[in-house]
Amino acid sequence: MILYAFRRLLESVVVLFAMSLVVFLSVYAIGNPVDILVSPQADAQEIERAIRGLGLDRPLWEQYAVFLRQAAAGDLGHSFAFNVPAIGLILERMPATLELAGAAMLVAVGLGIPLGLWAGLRPESASAKAIMAGSILGFSLPTFWVGLVLVMVFSVWLGWLPASGRGPTTDLLGVPVSFLSREGLRHLLLPAATLALFKLSLLARLTRAGTREALAQDYVKFARAKGLATRRVVGVHVLKNILVPIVTVIGLELGSVIAFAIVTETIFAWPGMGKLLIDAIGVLDRPVIVAYLLVTVTLFVLINLVVDLAYSALDPRVRLAEARA
Amino acid sequence: MKRLSAALAAFALAVSAHAADLRIGLAADVTSMDPHFHNIGPNNLVAWHVFDALTRVDENARLVPGLAESWRAIDPTTWEFKLRKGVKFHDGSELTAEDVLFSIDRPATLDRSPGPFTTFTRPIVAKEAPDRYTVRLRTASPYAMVPYDMNSIFIVSKKAAAGATQADFDSGKAMIGTGPYRFVAFRRGDRVELARHEGHWDARPAWERVTLRILPNDPARTAALLAGDVDAIESVPTADATRLAANPSFRTESKVSWRTLFLTLDQARDSPPGVTDRSGRPLARNPFKDPRVRLAFSKAINRQAIVERMMEGYALPASNLVAPPIFGYAQALQPEPHDPEGARRLLAGAGYPDGFAIVLAAPNNRYVNDEQVAQAVAQMLARVGVAARVEALPAAAYFPKARAGEFAVAMLGWGSFSADLALRSLALTPDPDKGFGTWNWGRYSNPKVDQLVVQALATVDEGKREALAREAMTVAMREHAVIPLHHQMATWAMRKELAYRPRTDEYTFAFAFRPR
């Protein structure tokens, strides 16, 4: 298994390398960040000076070589706009995004799977039909719209929850988190609900379909015939068997939620790293764009690895050595 | 009953403690606390709370004393600033000429700045402090803008900032200024927290604690105000401004901003990109070299309609490159009246009875409603026979292309403290060595304008200088160096219990908010 994990990580290094090159070339093709960052009053000499100061006067291959050399030493460069190490900037914002993504996934899994199970077990009941109809809405409503409506209802009309921001944070092992204080939780609730809605609907539908399929299988009939309690039939036999596709989707969605929570972060002014990426693209802050995507790819690789390991735990037929990525 | 009154008293206390706080929603991200790192609005806004400069501008963007109580030119190339006595930094030490000299030197030592402040310090070739409260700045040639330039150089404490890194400023260690607020905390991408500096030399602000929330998303900023998360916001989206103005719980303030929008027309190259006849074939010559064509463009544009329909009234039709309150605004120039018939006649007279085709380039995320305004202009041009195709790009892609000369007709917005400064960047014959015409995308060139602006910038007498600046503006605009569109309005919205004196320079200052 260690060998397997090691090979996966080695493959990801190649991906990281290729991606950094693509990002470098594409940002270079768009233009020169100094043209956007420099103050309008600056004259040509000042602009020259700024370009030199940021090392943008050198040929592209040389800039890339410098980047590679520094990256090998663990330094992904200084942000043009913030003048602090790009990786530090991302790590500083990461807890906010991870917390938001974690809370959203918790809501999605905690509600989606039970709702899906319920709908799968009693497909003809009115509640099941309501769940399915609701999930279609959750699927098709755009995130930014849902976010704005939630803000309008819960913050502006009812005044129950704050409209934006992260609120006060508490340090947990040196990492600032919101969920430990009441005020922090109040700030977390709306963005997490917005972000969770799509995943919740997805998981509910997936679970329902799996449950319906599993219920018709022989092993479920046999379990029932053996006289096992419904609770055990559903909780152990059905659930465990439908979990493999669900874990796959959770893994994929967790990655995308972390990397692209941007819409939600923007609407709720949540100081996460998704906003950082958009701002960085807006001013062509290349070190931040490159570092961000490197971090994201690494995250995806790690999540996929965990998902693969989870398969083997859930389904003894899966052998990691054979599961060639 | 007793318990109730105690509860009421506690409630009143809570309200009054709360009343001493002010939370403001800012429209743009603050990137750094270092006041000399990057010359952009949001960073300068924070710096104006914590620091002061030798000179300041009032709400009409006119120069007024700051840390310097007076200044004068003792000879054509030497400016002398007399510092206020007894001004205290947040750490209790006194401001002296040493701190001023240090602050003027510091921008040139930061070599990773993407928008350096050296623009304002480079003209100074020598400086000295004859005593603790006097600073003399020498320029190589007579230069009237030194007091204006000093409005952009924040004065830091030499003791706190010597050898300080960016991190020292962001953490607050080096954030020692003389400004009305002390630095408390900076949470990047989220907020800046400030506390009142009780010993400020000028005004005593009404608010003990100030939180500047960073809310760049327009609907989110408005929602934060509506929900009571913040007490006031800046840059109210035009659609929301009308709605908020009608809401009895809120007040809005607006004032003509120093940002003027205009179109640049390529007047130098023989075949500028994107300019063809109506069937796409190249034209024999560049039509914009003919002043009649430029005038026709100006007549074709219905500025009043743009102001009313695109900007919902939050703009003024423009005739100048600077807004009405600004130094050097030429009152005699009037916005060109909408006259499509006249425009068509002028085009026919210039040899284009069937018009021609252009690409009209504009950013789509830089100015208020920029792309919509460009679309409206394109339709107005179509009515006089000029087929304009709008190419709208995000600022990140637009400005590099525009500066590389890829557009013949392009939209640009500009803010300046004075007409001569605006003309220096926008209408002088481009000359990189002298720093002239850096943003003169159309490469307009008139020796008379060049000479007037150079003379104005070297004229120390403010009255004479303003006359020269006005004359230069009049000449350039009569020749349609660019086609002015409108002056934007800066807008604020706040709880109805607050009042703000709106500013032409668009700054949102916590210390300028008052309870009503």
Predicted TM-score (pTM) of this structure? 0.85
Angstroms from A37 CA to nearest CA on chain B: 6
Task: Specify the pLDDT at position B5.
Answer: 45
The per-residue pLDDT for range B313-336, each reduced to its tens digit, is: 999 999 999 999 999 999 999 999
Q: Average pLDDT for residues B426-449, to the nearest whole number? A: 90
Contact A50 B229 (CB under 8 A): no
Who has greater pLDDT, A45 or B45? B45
Identify whether the C-beta of residue B445 lies closer than 8 Å to the C-beta of residue B289. no
Q: Which of A43, A143, A187, A190 has the most B C-beta neighbours within 10 Å, making it the best mutation to test the interface with B?
A: A43
* B209-214 vs B21-26, strand pairing mode: parallel
Residue A33: which of B40, B111, B114 has the nearest Cβ?
Answer: B114
What are the strands, taking DSSP E only, across B333-402? 357-363, 387-393
Mean pLDDT of B384-395: 93
CB contact under 8 A, A30 and B400: yes
The whole-number pLDDT of residue B452 equals: 95
Classify the C-alpha dihedral B479-B481-B484-B489 as positive or negative: negative
Q: Write the pLDDT tens digit of every residue in A226-284.
A: 887 878 888 777 888 788 888 888 888 887 787 668 888 888 888 888 888 888 888 88
Of B189, B365, B425, the CB nearest to A40: B425
The predicted pLDDT at position B19 comes to: 64
SS3 A248: helix
pLDDT at A93: 86
Q: A33 — contact with chain B (CB < 8 Å)?
A: yes
Using one digit for the tens of pLDDT, what is the confidence trace for B147-204? Answer: 999 999 999 999 999 988 888 999 899 999 999 999 999 988 889 999 999 989 987 8
Residue B18 has pLDDT above 60, yes or no: no
Q: With 50 as the cut, is the pLDDT of residue B6 above it?
A: no
B393 close to B355: Cβ distance less than 8 angstroms: no
The answer to whether A163 contacts B223, with C-beta atoms less than 8 Å apart, is yes
Give A191 to chain B, closest Cα distance, Å: 12
Task: Decide if A228 touches B, using CB distance below 8 A.
Answer: no
pLDDT at B516 over 80: yes
pLDDT tens, residue by residue, A45-54: 778 888 888 8
What average pLDDT score do residues B391-416 get? Answer: 90
pLDDT at site B36:
94
CATH numeric code, A87-324: 1.10.3720.10
- Average pLDDT, rounded, for chain A: 83
Q: Which of A26, A32, A46, A171 to mutate to test the interface with B (most CBs of B within 10 A)?
A: A46
Q: Which of B217, B398, B416 to mutate to test the interface with A (most CBs of A within 10 A)?
A: B217
> Residue B396 pLDDT more than 90?
no
**Mean pLDDT value across chain B:** 91
The residue among B475, B491, B458, B487 whose CA lies nearest residue B76 is B458
Whether B412 and B264 have beta carbons less than 8 Å apart is answered as yes
What pLDDT band is residue B412 in, cutting at 50, 70 and 90? very high
Residues 6 or more apart from B254 whose CB is under 8 A from it? Answer: B241, B314, B489, B490, B491, B492, B502
pLDDT of residue A325: 43
pLDDT at A50: 82
Tell me the pairing of strands B21-26 and B181-187. Answer: unpaired
Q: State residue A319's pLDDT score.
A: 65
Ramachandran angles phi, psi of A41, nearest 5°: -70, -15
Using DSSP bridges, classify how beta strands B68-75 and B78-83 pair: parallel, antiparallel or unpaired.
antiparallel
Which residues on chain A are in Cβ contact (under 8 Å) with B115?
A: 34, 37-39, 42, 50
pLDDT in tens, A159-169: 888 888 887 77
What is the rounded CA–CA span in Å between residue B212 and residue B22? 8
Q: What phi and psi, each to the nearest 5 degrees, are found at residue B56?
A: -130, 170
Of A50-54, A317-321, B477-481, which range is least confident?
A317-321
Give me the pLDDT at residue B464, please. Answer: 94
Q: Is the pLDDT of residue A141 over 90?
A: no
More confident residue, A204 or A33: A204
Across the interface, whether the CB atoms of A53 and B415 are under 8 A apart is answered no
If you compute the radius of gyration of chain A from its CA atoms, what whole number of angstroms results?
24
pLDDT the model gives residue B263: 96
CATH 1.10.3720.10 location in chain A: 87-324
CA torsion angle B294 B300 B301 B303 (round to 10)? 110
- Closest-approach residue (CA) in chain B for A284: B396
- Asked if A36's CB is within 8 angstroms of B227's CB, the reply is no
Q: What is the mean pLDDT of residues B252-260?
A: 93
Structure tokens at B92: 């209790």
